[in-house]
Structures are given as structure tokens and as C-alpha cells.
Amino acid sequence: MPLKLLECDETIPERLKHVYIKESGEDLTQFLPSSDIPTIPGTLSERGCSFCGAKLVIGGVLKDTIQVIHGPIGCSYNTWHTKRYPSDKDNFQLKHVVSTDMKEGNVVFGGEKRLKQSMLEAFNAFPEIKRMIVYVTCATALIGDDIKAVARDVESELNNEVDIFCVQCPGFAGVSQSKGHHVYNIDWMNEKVGTVEPEISSPYTVNFIGDYNIQGDTEVLEKYMKKLGIQIIAHFTGNGTYDSNRAMHRAQLNITNCARSAGYIANELQRKYGIPRMDISTWGFDYVKEGLMKIGIFFDMEDKVEKLISEEVEKYLPKLEWYKEKLKDKKVCIWTGGPRLWHWTKTLEDELGMKVVAMSSKFGHQEDFEKVISRGSVGALYIDDGNELEFFEVIKMMKPDVILTGPRVGDLVKKLHIPYINGHGYHNGPYMGFEGCLNMARDLYNAIYSPVYRLAAEDIREAE
């Protein structure tokens, strides 16, 4: 029986269903950790809110769109500062966010007037920007503010020169941020896709779905597509524009990277427009090669792809070998949202020689656990919706050399003098593509070998 009750969970035995250790010969149809269900009372969940899933992960990445958050001021700050997705539009999306700053009086008497005023002010403040996304939050959903009606009103007041998308996904919707991905995908599909016609400049066209240009990831993929002569109609949503996302219906192929946050729109585009969905992984040499080759086969351009791969591999593989030597047998944990577990586990093991000893997912669904457990090694531990005490216990059990996780848990493990790498926003990315794999290896090497964590554990006065 591969489920495991950790010692710290003695008083919440329901956590048993959420912790799994892979045993040899396990049949995933018999056991999987429970996931995508409500957090158990008594555990301090790390999960995010659904509004954040829509805003921070997907909508907020668009580079030419004003983001209006209709709610208390904290909803803006807490969905803004941690994610690093640059753009070639002077990073407009990283610099500005608009909040309606709802106060008690607005909650009592309604916030629609305030919202309308904020939206008009925002368009006025950024006259060159004609696109906007408005998000409802817990407070404004509960009082029933009709953000769609306000948006139509603002559009007509501005002579329909602007276009506004409304995201109606308050923080309490669903069991985690995953619901926010879903709502954004489906509503965008239903309301915006098909409303703009793109300029087609190549016989080969794709959408890149579910890559968010974390520290330049998208630029690496764009470089490959450019070399192959493939036009990217839309990035959903890394370095993407609002209007390119309205034109997604014209691509011949949907290349899906983050299947968790954006598989929904890929499925809808397939259903409604017949565009095939192709899932690829873009971290690690083997996956990138495989992904590019799948694209090459689809467009009947295998020769071109082979040439691209051999050029890139020649450039970066020798350097990777050096890191592989240093990273061999180092133990690593991956504690992120969900998909990065299955994107990364084999790459870290097969290509960098590391041992992935524990993985934790905040909001992965059953399919994410199927993927990661089938790719992971025997003896690795998997947690759904992990909490701090569990993390500390896992650290004691597994003694990792480095942990890929977010800044919050990262700060906790730093106190134990264990290095962490930002598995969400990266340390020094991009991490996608061949060059990205090298960056990731370098960051892991630097983290493990830097003396700073050891020194931080010492009383340096002794050395004086």
C-alpha cells in the first residue's frame, strides 16, 4: 500500500490519502494520492485562490492590456509582484496594475460606480492602451457587482474603441487556483476567440498554449519557430497580446506546454475549430528534441528540425556534461504547482544525473499525478496540497541537497540552511529549451556548491 501517513499528520489522519511513496510494480489504477479536492480542515494549505489563478498566471501576462482588479487593495499586490514574465513592450505588464481599492462603504453601497470611474481613469492614464481585463474578487462577487454591465457601459462611452474582458472568478471559486485557469480559458474561448482575424505570413501557423515567458522562456521557443519558418499566431499568454489571443482560431496546430493551466482552451479549439492539440514538454534536452521533432513531423519538415536540433545540441551539450558531473546523485525535491513535477522529474534524473526524492503539488489533478508517478523513480514521495510540517518531515526523511520551490517555502528551507531554487519564477532563466536546461543546471550547481548556506549556519564572529 503506497499511501503514507506522516508522523506530523497523526491528528489529521485524512492526510493519508494525499501522500504516496512509489513502490516497484505499483499499478496506478489502484492507488493515486487524492488531489483536486477541498483542503482538509486542520492542515495549513499552501494553495492559492482562484482569482489569482486567472490573474497572476494567465491574464496578467498579456503585455498590452490594462489589468483592473475590482476588490480590496491587497488582491492587487498579492497577485502582482512575485512572477517574472518580461515582455518586449517595455514590461508594461510588470509595472502597472489598477485596483478599485474597495472600502467598507463601497461594499455596503455597491462598487459599480467606483469600478466605472476606475476603468475610465485607467484608460485615460494609458491612452495608447485600448485593451483591458477586469477581475471580480471575493468582496465584489459577494455583493453582486455586475462587472460585465459596467464593462459594456465603458466600451460604449469610449465609442467602442476599447475592448474589455471580464473574469468572473472570485477567490472562493473551486478548491484551488486551478479553477481560475479553467474559468479564464473557457470564458476567453467563448467570448473573445474568433473576434479578430490575424495576418497570416507563413504556410505554417501555430498557437503556443500554456507558456508564460517566465524569464524569457517564450523568446527561446520563438527563436526556434523563427528558424523553422513557423508563424506563431498567439502565445497563450507569454509575451502575448490581447488581440493575438482573439485570433487563435486561425492556427493549424495548438502546441500545449502547460496542460494543467491551458489544456482547456486547446481542447475547445479542437472541438470548435478542429485544430489539433499537440502536448510537448519544453524543459530538458530530450523533451525539447522530441517536441520539436513532433512539430517537424506535423508540418513535414523533419530535415529542418534535425538541423536545428543538431546545431543547438552542439552548442550547449558539452557545457551540460560539466554540470552533470557535478550534479550526479545530488538529491532534489520539486515542490511547485503540479505540472512542473512531471515536466522536470525525468530531465533532472536522466539528463542531470540527480535523484528526485520528493515532489509536492499544490493543485495538480489526478492526471498530473498519473503523469508524474509514472515518470518518477521508485522510492520518491509525492504529496498533494502539502503543508509546512509535512515539508519539514520530508526534509528529515529524504535529506535533499536542493529544493525547487517558491519563495515562501524557500524562505522556510533557507532557515534549515538548505538551498532552494525558485521553481516558479526561476533564479536566472530562461529554463526552457536547450540553453534553458543549461541555465537550470548552472543554478542548481551554484545553489548546491555555494558556501553561503553553510556559512549562514555558522557564527562568523568565531572567524574574526
61 or 206, CB closer to ligand CFM? 61
CB of 53 to ligand CFM, least distance (A): 6
- Does 339 interact with ligand CFM (rule: CB under 6 A)? yes
218 or 336, CB closer to ligand CFM? 336
Binding to ligand CFM in span 173-202, by CB under 6 A? 177
75 or 214, CB closer to ligand CFM? 214
Cα(324)–Cα(5) distance, rounded to whole angstroms? 35
249 or 340, CB closer to ligand CFM? 340
The mark string for 23-62 relative to ligand CFM (x by CB under 6 A, - otherwise) is: ----------------------------------x-----
The mark string for 159-178 relative to ligand CFM (x by CB under 6 A, - otherwise) is: ------------------x-
Cα(69)–Cα(203) distance, rounded to whole angstroms? 40
Binding piece for ligand CFM, criterion CB under 6 A, among 193-201, 283-291, 308-316, 338-346: 338-346
The mark string for 74-93 relative to ligand CFM (x by CB under 6 A, - otherwise) is: --------------------
CB 20 within 8 A of CB 368: no
List Cα–Cα distances, 95 to 86, 217, 225, in angstroms. 10, 20, 29
164 or 333, CB closer to ligand CFM? 333
CB of 405 to ligand CFM, least distance (A): 10
231 or 387, CB closer to ligand CFM? 387
Binding to ligand CFM in span 257-276, by CB under 6 A? 258, 260-261
CB of 180 to ligand CFM, least distance (A): 8
CB of 345 to ligand CFM, least distance (A): 12
Q: Which residues bind ligand CFM (CB under 6 A)?
A: 57, 177, 212, 214, 258, 260-261, 336-340, 424
